[in-house]
Amino acid sequence: MTTFDERIERAANFVRTAKRIVAFTGAGISTESGISDFRSPGGVWDRYRIVTYQEFLASREAREGYWKMKKELYVEIAGAQPNRAHHSLAELERMGKLTCLITQNIDGLHQEAGSRAVIEIHGTNRKAICVRCGKQWPIAEIQSILESGNYDPRCDQCSGFIKPATISFGQAMPEREMTLAYECAMGCDLFFMIGSSLQVEPAASLPRVAKRSGADLVFVNRTETPYDHMASVLFRESAGHVLDEIVRALQRDPLPTRRDQQIGL
């Protein structure tokens, strides 16, 4: 068992020597920003029935129930601020270290922290989209419609149903984003996984794809995942703390240490 400092140094050294670094984030990175993991007990998903995409299209009652849940979630997401983990990933990108950031999260906190190369494979809660013509709105505009008591908002252009720009249960994963995500995972030599229990496909296959392509894996997650054995460095500590320490180590010492070069890390 290695100490926390040793694991930080090991992870930092992977970052120092890597040419293409990809990060993949899940709900666990945003819990420190006060956004509840939808799988955790007592979360919004416990109090509302899951509405599939097909139900959303077919039933007004389902749409109204779905928008009521989203109206409640809005308050949580609109008030949330990026935490140290989001800021550290944005800093890694600014340092020219991070080539792409794949996220399962729909909260938009990576962009708010300053990250640019973000691939949102589950879409975003910050926008709404007409399911018929594709017109988009900032979510705040739809929120004010909901607050006026209308829970079945329609497109002013084509009368189509308006839906948050997230990927719902029963809805296909976005093709462009998934292709990009797999290309990133296949082309990287270091893969950070932060805050996902890796239970859900296709996201769970991204670290496997990276590993098969020869990348080293660094996992930062509170609980164990089915792929922990593949990780070169494993953290159970807070994502904010871990990423902050890695960035500090890089700022202190940007170049690989000689000892690590010799042993081929």
Of residues 134 and 254, the one with the C-beta less far from Zn ion: 134
Of residues 135 and 211, the one with the C-beta less far from Zn ion: 135
- Token code pair at residue 91: 């800093």
The phi-psi region of residue 107 (left if phi > 0; otherwise alpha if psi is between -120 and 50; otherwise beta) is alpha
- Binding span for Zn ion by CB under 5 A among 142-150, 157-165, 228-236, 244-252: 157-165
Of residues 135 and 241, the one with the C-beta less far from Zn ion: 135
- DSSP element (H, E) containing 73: helix 60-78
58 touching Zn ion, by CB under 5 A: no
List, in order, residues 6 or more apart from 142 with CB less than 8 Å away. Answer: 128, 153, 162, 164
Number of residues that bind Zn ion (CB under 5 A): 8
The phi-psi region of residue 80 (left if phi > 0; otherwise alpha if psi is between -120 and 50; otherwise beta) is beta
Among 43, 45, 152, 160, interactor with Zn ion by CB under 5 A: 160
Rounded CA gap, 100 and 138, in Å?
A: 24
* In the complex, minimum distance from the CB of residue 131 to Zn ion, in angstroms, rounded to a whole number: 8
Of residues 150 and 157, the one with the C-beta less far from Zn ion: 157
75 touching Zn ion, by CB under 5 A: no
155 touching Zn ion, by CB under 5 A: yes
Question: Taking CB under 5 A as the criterion, which residues in 84-143 touch Zn ion?
Answer: 130, 132-133, 135
* In the complex, minimum distance from the CB of residue 160 to Zn ion, in angstroms, rounded to a whole number: 4
Rounded CA gap, 115 and 206, in Å?
A: 20
Instruction: For residue 86, indicate whether it is catalytic.
Output: no
Length of the chain: 265
List, in order, residues 6 or more apart from 101 with CB less than 8 Å away. Answer: 22, 23, 24, 25, 89, 93, 110, 115, 117, 118, 119
* In the complex, minimum distance from the CB of residue 52 to Zn ion, in angstroms, rounded to a whole number: 21
* Active-site pick, 86, 87, 122, 229: 122
Tell me which residues are annotated as active site: 122
Q: What residue ranges bind Zn ion (CB under 5 A)?
A: 130, 132-133, 135, 155, 157-158, 160
